[in-house]
Amino acid sequence: MALTALNPALASLDPDALPDDGTDPGDEEAHAVEVRQLQVPMDLHTSRLDKALAELVPEFSRSYLQQLLGQGAVQLNGQAVQKPAAKVKLGDQLTVAMRPTAQSQAFKPEAMALNVVFEDEHLLVVNKPAGLVVHPAPGNWSGTLLNGLLAHHAGAVQVPRAGIVHRLDKDTSGLMVVAKTRAVMDALVALIAQRDVSRRYLALGQGGWQGAPMQTVDAAIGRDPRNRLRMAVVDLQHSPGKTARTDITCLSTTTAHCLVHCKLHTGRTHQIRVHMQHLHHPLVADAVYGGAAEGGLQRQALHAFALQFVHPITGQDLALRAPPPDDFLTAAEKLGLQYNCPP
């Protein structure tokens, strides 16, 4: 990581006074300081300083930037400031001294073959393969979709999270929409919040389907109180969580398995996986929620096959589809399920 001291006064800051980022004290590069000069734009006028920093330096977490504030590593118009709640104004000059971290170095372009099913100057829709992590995180600081987007188009570096507005789990395949500008990102986030983006999935579940072909699961989801690494259906009167609703339609069933179509009305973490478990149909190969590996699958049998929304700039009605990948179709066949793409 190339480091340039843009402000000589800050170039001499003691790096050991900065927050611990897990680097080896004996590593020479861990003692280097990167200094960034930033200017407050109109959309951040009167914002809190910590919020402005989080927007202007998106590759660092807000908590890390707050630690930098506390260590006196941030200057506002040439004066050191330590209050996260300090207000900034249009045109204010911010100077931030930082040590490189695994997190910051993760935000770099990496050329990769992206399966783009739609693209214009405003946004793109990609068909993400199973196994591809969407966003850098501990254990996956490189080789993510975000890294690929940074290499795909130059403007991605100017957009928070490279324009990613929603996520798919690492082992879930399928369609994702990505913004190419900040204005489009804000518009897409608003569409998703208003439930104006239709997202539909195909899944393979364990257990033969019973009852009505279409069933709506309207059950809140929160952190599983017995296992903090999982989500679970919760009672909001007794546990924290958020409302969640999924329409699930059986497309094919045997006595032991079912192929279902899922339509999301909300977008909670692991929503389909949790709601299918709630119906006693955990997804095939979803070990986190009790699904056994069958049909040759080694990842949860979930694919985002359809995405529909009105283009926020052109007004075009985009209705995009991606057929399930070969591993999904092969597993369905081995389990005796008949695949017919839903209308």
The radius of gyration of the chain from alpha carbons, rounded to an integer in Å, stands at 23
Query: Strand 173-179 relative to strand 302-310: parallel, antiparallel, unpaired?
Result: parallel
Neighbouring residues of 25: CB distance < 8 A, sequence distance ≥ 6: none
For the question of residue 24 being annotated catalytic, the response is no
CB of 221 closer than 8 Å to CB of 244: yes
For 334, the enclosing helix (H) or strand (E) is: helix 326-334
Query: Strand 198-206 relative to strand 257-264: parallel, antiparallel, unpaired?
Result: antiparallel
- Nearest 10 degrees: Cα torsion 238, 225, 222, 210: -100
**Cα–Cα distance, 340 to 336 (Å, whole number):** 13
CB of 167 closer than 8 Å to CB of 136: no
Tell me which of 16, 20, 169, 235 is the catalytic residue. 169
Residue 169 token pair: 């789990």
Indicate the burial class of 227 (C-beta count within 10 angstroms; 0-12, 13-18, 19 or more).
exposed
* Residue whose token pair is 């070969």: 326
**Cα–Cα distance, 311 to 123 (Å, whole number):** 9
Distance between start and end Cα atoms, the chain: 49
Q: Which of 268, 164, 253 is nearest to 205 (CA)?
A: 253
Taking the CA of residue 36 as centre, how many other CA atoms within 13 Å lie in the half-sphere pointing to its CB?
A: 18
Query: Strand 34-39 relative to strand 74-76: parallel, antiparallel, unpaired?
Result: unpaired
Residue 55 token pair: 């927007």
**Cα–Cα distance, 155 to 322 (Å, whole number):** 26
Hey, which residues are catalytic here? 169
